[in-house]
Amino acid sequence: MENDMTAYEAAALIDISAVRTHNTLSDVEECVAYAKKYRFINVHSLPCFTKAVAGMLAGEDGIYVGAPVGFPSGGHSTGTKLLEARQLIEDGVEEMDVVMNVGKFKSGDDDYVLNELKEIIEKTPDSILTKVIIELNCLGDDEIERACEIVAASGADFLKTGTGWVPGGANIERIGKIKGILGSRLKVKAAGGIRTREEFDALLALGVERFGINTKSAVEIVESFE
C-alpha cells in the first residue's frame, strides 16, 4: 500500500551515511551534499569525521550530525565507549547511535549490557538523540523481546535494528514484532537491507519512525515520491 506523503516528508525520516571502512572525506562531503539537496534528516559518518560534518551542517536547519559509538561490533570496553561518546559530544554530534554489546547479550549478561547503555546515555546531554543498535540479524527470534526490554530500560530515544554491516534483508516481519513489543514506549529506526519503496512503505505502515538507508537507495526512494 503506497502512502501519499511528499518527497520532503519522506526524506525527513531517512538517515544517510558514509560509515564504511573505505569512506573518505570526499565521500562524507558527497553525503552532506545529498542531504542538503533532498533534505535527509541526518548524515552519519565515522567518528573521525564528526567535527567536519558539524562544520558542513552548521546553521543547516533540519539536518543533524550523526555518528556511532562502539561501531560496528559493539564489543568495545565500556570505558572506550564512554570516551568515544564524550569526544563525539565535543565534536558536535546531535544524534548518537550506540551499538549494544551483542556478544555480552548473547552470552546472557543482560546486566552488563543494560548498565553500559545506561552509563553512556546518562552522560549524554538531553539535547542529543540516542539510538541503541541491537543488530537484529545476529539475534534469534527468542532474543528479540529481551533486547527490546533492555533498550527500553536504557533511557534511549530509539531502538535501531542494525548497523548495515551484517548481511540480511529489510526484516519487515521481525521489525513488526519489535514494534508490537515496544508499542509507544520507544521509537524504532529500521536500518540494514532496506532498498525499495515497497519496503519503505511496508515499514512505515508498521509505525517505524526513522530509517537508515544507503544513499543511493535513499535517493531512489525519495525521488519515487516526486
Across 192-205, average pLDDT: 97
Mean pLDDT score of the chain, rounded to an integer? Answer: 97
Task: Tell me if the domain spanning 7-223 has CATH number 3.60.10.10.
Answer: no
Angle between helices 172-182 and 144-154 (to 10 degrees): 50
Of 97, 76, 50, 89, nearest to 191 (Cα)? Answer: 97
Q: How far is CA 117 from CA 145, 154, 168, in A?
A: 17, 6, 25
Give how far the C-alpha of residue 173 lies from the chain's centroid of Cα atoms, to the nearest Å: 19
141: annotated active-site residue: no
Cell of 84: 568515544
Indicate if the pLDDT at residue 1 is higher than 60. Answer: no
The b/e string for 114-136 (b: 16+ C-beta within 10 A; e otherwise) is bebbebbbeebeeebbbbbbbbb
Q: Which long-range contacts (CB under 8 A, 24 or more apart) does 203-209 make?
A: 203/170, 203/172, 203/175, 204/3, 204/13, 205/1, 205/3, 206/172, 206/175, 206/176, 206/179, 207/179, 208/175, 208/179, 209/13, 209/158
Spell out the domain ranges in the chain. Answer: 7-223
Q: Is 179 a catalytic residue?
A: no
Quick: pLDDT tens for 139-172.
Answer: 999 999 999 999 999 999 999 999 999 999 999 9
2 grid coordinates: 503506497
| 97 counts as catalytic | yes
For residues 20-32, average pLDDT: 98
Active-site choice (51, 160, 179, 187)? 160
Q: Cβ neighbours of residue 105 under 8 Å, at least 6 residues apart? A: 113, 143, 146, 147, 150
Residue 46 banded pLDDT, cuts 50, 70, 90: very high
Q: How confident is the model at residue 3 (pLDDT cuts 50, 70, 90)?
A: confident
The active-site residue, picked from 15, 91, 97, 157, is 97
Q: What is the pLDDT of residues 112-144, one digit of tens each?
A: 999 999 999 999 999 999 999 999 999 999 999
CA 82 to chain centre: 18
Q: Which distant-in-sequence residues (6+ apart) come within 8 Å of 200 by Cβ?
A: 10, 194, 211, 213, 221
The arithmetic mean of pLDDT across residues 28-54, rounded, is 98
Confidence (pLDDT) at 226: 84
Band (4; pLDDT cuts 50, 70, 90): confident
From the list 51, 131, 187, 189, the catalytic residue is 189
Nearest to 177 by CA among 165, 161, 162, 193: 161
Q: Please, which residues bridge with residue 132 across strands?
A: 98, 159
User: What length does the chain have?
Assistant: 226
The packing angle between helices 110-122 and 78-91, to 10°, is 20
DSSP summary character for residue 143: G
What pLDDT is stored for residue 2 in this prediction? Answer: 58
